[in-house]
Structure 1
Amino acid sequence: MRLQVIDLDGSVAGQEPLRRRFGTGEASCIDAADLAARLRIVASRGAVAGLLERLAVGGRDGGGPPVYFYGSGDFHHLTALFLRTVSAPVTVVHFDNHPDWVRFPATVNCGAWVNRALELPQVRKVVTIGPCSDDLVRPEWQFANLRAVEAGRMALFPWRHAPSRVWRRYNSAASFRQEGGHLHWRNLAEEDWSGFLDELMTAIPTEAVWLTIDKDVLGRDEAVTNWDQGQLKLAHLIAAIERLAAGRFVVGVDVCGDWSEPRFSDPFRAALAFFDHPPRLRPTAEDLAINARANAALVDCFSRVLP
């Protein structure tokens, strides 16, 4: 694998085991701090172009699939940019406490990047695993792309969530059944995880997969993020990575969900962050060490299972 840190917000470049891998040549670091304010929450075209140029230069060395760590989940829409480099038909397996499926506005932003990914011809399907968030409360009012779920382009498997109130018919799918005006989701917390992973493998229509991980899918005891968090266990996440790597060809991985202080150069992004983020967290050094331990476990896992 090609382990790369995109240093946008300072949250991961100094962590072990990433920092020591820079010295040994096992990992590289791409400095993009000057682009962060124009990429955070919503990406500007100029900042996107600048980042893609740096990725093209910084990613030339080494073989194997790229594995990116890049900081806060405020930047999760970078996944849609990474996917532009994939040429083969690919399924995106997405671990997150949020579905990131908002249809409006149609920009490159952290709440809508799944739709930008589905616009790419090589992306056949997105499978989202782990949401517990309020995004599933009256999802139509929040511009959720339920039509993609209905069409089979997207599958959503909450870890735990109450039925969602809807007004339109969506029939049923592998992840829910519709009864009247409610979508009754499968709750993975109540299922055998190994059995679900076996089922997941049969539901992936391509040989190639891209793994995207927002650590807010984990509980607060295993990650500290800028967002409200879910309940998936790190051990479940690692088991899923191992199973996917054994049964499919992983063409790339990206990991976000570290905490960093939101910094903006314009009131628009600052306002979006103020209204979307939960009450501001002031983590201690001990809190942030939780993220370093989670990242260490993920790097160890990738080192074992990726070529």
Structure 2
Amino acid sequence: MMITVQDFTGVYAEQAFMQELRATAETSKDVRWLDCTKIVGTDCYCDDDAIKEINELIDNAESDIENRDNSTNAPDIHFFDNGNYHYMSKLWTDRVQEPFTLIVFDHHPDMQPPRFGGILSCGGWVKEVLDNNKFVQNVIIIGVKDKLVETVREELSQSGEANILEKVTFIKKSELNTLSFQSSLSSLTPSASGAAVRSYQQINLPLRHSPGSLLVSRLSSQHSLYISIDKDALSPTYAATNWDQGSLTLDALKKSITALAANRKILGIDICGERAHDFEGNEHHTVQEADTLNSELNRKLVEFLKNL
């Protein structure tokens, strides 16, 4: 497993676990630390010059990949700072060369139509993937704020692009704790799709309306998965981020990933959602509490993902 850390704001300097990774990167071929702090044109929006510079930085780091320890089948992990840089998932999935389903854990749909001449943004990168990536088959967005789903549908309808929603499944925040969604997770292996459908019938839930059944219908055993996590999908109990947050628990996130990934190839896993670099504390956390919380969350996620 390769871990790549892209540091855009310097926020990782205050996290003990991330500094352990930085030290490891100096001696190990399995951890790469990419300093992106001097690349201009990256905050929320990423212009063409910045995209070129970021890709060149990644390409240069790839030269060591042939010599690294690849003794495990665990997927590569990419950390890239706070939610303003979630568009990095678009750049990483650009490197995929096979059909895949994109799984996104996010409190926001990140599907806004472009507002500044088509420039890549943290709020529209999922739409960019759908528009431009020939390998993406479906997108499943989990934990999104309910009202934002309707907003995206209205915006895409007004722009004449509503047809791309045919590839998109939203599992809204209000659906995360429903029996239909939770009971589906244990049945989401490719060999058990029929069992998953039967489980809904047995509990007398309308099949076409159940969020779990949408997952079953969208997930093909023939398609690999790419997973992108913005920690703002999690409750403030588990993370301190730079956007408003959802209600997902860490345990629910792990169970969802375990179920979705069962017997499927995972092409990569992205993690963003750190606190803002100028965070001064809020009603949930002091600065020190936020850094300690996020550091331990990143550690737990890496330990969990290593065993997928």
TM-score bin (small chain): 0.7 to 0.9
- 1:73-222 matched pairs, under 5 angstroms: 73-105=83-115, 106-118=118-130, 119-132=132-145, 134-143=147-156, 146-149=162-165, 151=166, 153-160=167-174, 187-197=175-185, 198=188, 199=212, 200=215, 203-205=218-220, 206-222=222-238
| 1:1-307 paired onto structure 2 within 5 Å | 1-12=1-12, 14-24=14-24, 25=28, 26-35=30-39, 37-60=40-63, 61=65, 62=68, 63=70, 65-105=75-115, 106-118=118-130, 119-132=132-145, 134-143=147-156, 146-149=162-165, 151=166, 153-160=167-174, 187-197=175-185, 198=188, 199=212, 200=215, 203-205=218-220, 206-261=222-277, 283-305=286-308
Task: Verify the 8 A CA contact 2:111 2:152 in the aligned structure 1.
Answer: no
Distance 1:280 1:260 in 2: 15
* Contact map agreement 2:145 2:246 (CA 8 A) in 1: yes
The 1:59/1:13 distance shift into structure 2, 3 A limit, reads: farther
The two structures, once aligned, show a CA RMSD in angstroms of 2.5
Distance change >3 Å, CA 192–CA 293, structure 1 → 2: farther
Kindly provide the amino acid, as one letter, of the partner of residue 257 in structure 1. Answer: G
Quickly say closer, same or farther: Cα 1:201–1:302, change in 2 above 3 A. farther
Shift of 1:195: 2.5
Do the aligned partners of 1:10 and 1:260 also contact (CA within 8 Å) in 2? no
Mapped contact 2:6–2:35 kept (Cα < 8 A): yes
Letter in 2 for 1:188: L
One-letter amino acid matched to 2:62: G
Instruction: State the Cα distance separating 1:138 from its structure 2 match.
Output: 4.1
Tell me the CA shift for residue 201 of structure 1: 5.0
Distance 1:101 1:280 in 2: 29
User: Distance between the aligned counterparts of 2:23 and 2:287, measured in 1?
Assistant: 27
In structure 2, do the counterparts of structure 1 residues 39 and 282 end up closer, same or farther at CA, with 3 Å as the change threshold?
farther
2:107–2:246 Cα contact (<8 Å) kept? yes
CA distance in 1, matches of 2:146, 2:88: 21
What letter is aligned with 2:176? L
Q: How many residues align?
A: 261
Query: Aligned AA for 2:18?
Result: L
Q: CA-to-partner distance for each residue in 1:222-272, whole Å, 9 max, x for gaps? A: 111111110111111111222233221001111000012369xxxxxxxxx
How far the C-alpha of 1:80 sits from its partner, in A, is 0.6
Corresponding residue SS for 1:189: coil
Q: Matches of 1:47 and 1:225 in 2, distance apart?
A: 24
Offset at 1:95?
0.3
Query: Partners in 1 of 2:13 and 2:101 — Cα distance?
Result: 29
1:15 offset after TM fit, Å?
A: 2.6
Sequence identity (%): 25
Structure having the larger proportion of residues in helix: 2
1:291: how far off?
A: 1.2
Q: Equivalents in 2 of 1:254, 1:13: separation in Å?
A: 19
Q: Which runs of 5+ in 1 are unaligned?
A: 161-186, 264-278
- For 1:13 and 1:68, the matched residues in 2 are separated by 17
Q: Could you tell me how far 1:101 is from its partner in structure 2?
A: 1.0
The 8 Å contact of residues 201 and 247 in structure 1, kept in 2 or not, is answered as no
> What letter matches 1:291 in structure 2?
N
- When residues 159 and 298 of structure 1 are mapped into structure 2, their CA distance, relative to the original with a 3 A threshold, is same
The AA in structure 2 aligned to 1:12 is Y
CA 1:138–1:202: 2 relative to 1, 3 Å:
closer
Q: Aligned equivalents of 2:225 and 2:272: distance in 1? A: 18
Measured in 2, the distance between the counterparts of 1:135 and 1:193 equals: 20
The unaligned stretches of length 5 or more in structure 2 are: 189-211
The one-letter amino acid of 1:302's match is L
The one-letter amino acid of 2:178's match is E
Deviation of 1:202 (Å): 5.0
- Could you tell me which residue of structure 2 aligns to residue 164 of structure 1? none
